[in-house]
Amino acid sequence: MEKWKSNVDFRIRLAMQSSEPDPWVVNGILTSYEVSEFNPVKFIGQGLGAMGFAHE
Amino acid sequence: MQSSRHRIQLFLFALLAALFSGCVSEQHGEFRGNIARGLPGTNNPSVQPCYWEVGWRNAVTADALVEFGVPQGFIVLVHSRQKYENSYYRLSNDAISAVYFYEGKLPIEGKEFLAQDVTARDRVEGMHHL
């Protein structure tokens, strides 16, 4: 089972186990998603950098 | 008239560029459920963050992989590179050919792993074909 929200987001249902006497069991939902947010610190840093106030 | 419209366009472009320069995109991952050695149901389901998400693709190999690091090790999805690319870089059920659990602290070397045949992949130390 899987569900897509965008190119980079996905969810996949895994219910599997290895074929060993003492198996590894993976049973659950793996989710991967991208979070985009406005970062005011980065915004101010970019602004200062553009004005020549910030130097490495 | 033309000049003022041009200025407005320039201003909007500068504003958008400034706003987007402050945007940060981060990939997050989590696993909800059980990952354990032993019989199912011996552990309570929990939410575990994925500390790593590493992809391996090479233009000359038919297979590619992506691995997700969880506290117990790595969930490794081996998939068809071509199907993944044809689906605009999305994983799909029919593209995934094998799922492994890897008991390791660091991700596996994808290039080395994919260069081996399926039998040899199953024999890699710490690798468990699910």
Provide the token pair at B9: 């366009």
DSSP label at A48? H
- Which of B8, B88, B129, B73 lies closest to A4, judged by CA? B88
DSSP label at B6? H
Find the residue in A nearest to B54 (Cα).
Answer: A32
Interfacial B residues in 66-125 facing A (CB < 8 Å)? 68, 75, 77, 88-93, 99, 101, 103
d(CA B115, CA B93): 23
Task: State the helix-helix crossing angle for B2-21 and A40-51, rounded to 10 degrees.
Answer: 120
Under the banding of pLDDT at 50, 70 and 90, the label for residue B85 is confident
Under the banding of pLDDT at 50, 70 and 90, the label for residue A1 is very low
- Establish, for the pair of chains A and B, how many residue pairs have beta carbons separated by less than 8 Å: 117
Q: Which of B32, B40, B53 sits opposite A29 (nearest CB)?
A: B32
ipTM: 0.71
Task: Report pLDDT digits (tens) over A23-42.
Answer: 999 988 888 887 777 777 77
| Chain A residues in contact with chain B using a Cβ-Cβ cutoff of 8 Å | 2, 4, 7-8, 10, 12, 14, 16-20, 22-40, 42-44, 46-47
Q: The whole model's pTM is what? A: 0.72
**Range B99-128 average pLDDT:** 90
Please say if the pLDDT value at position A3 is more than 70: no
d(CA A8, CA B112): 26
Q: Which of A25, A31, A46 sits opposite B36 (nearest CB)?
A: A25
Contacts of A25 (CB under 8 A, 6+ apart): A16, A17, B34, B35, B36, B37, B38, B39, B40
Single-letter residue type at A38: F
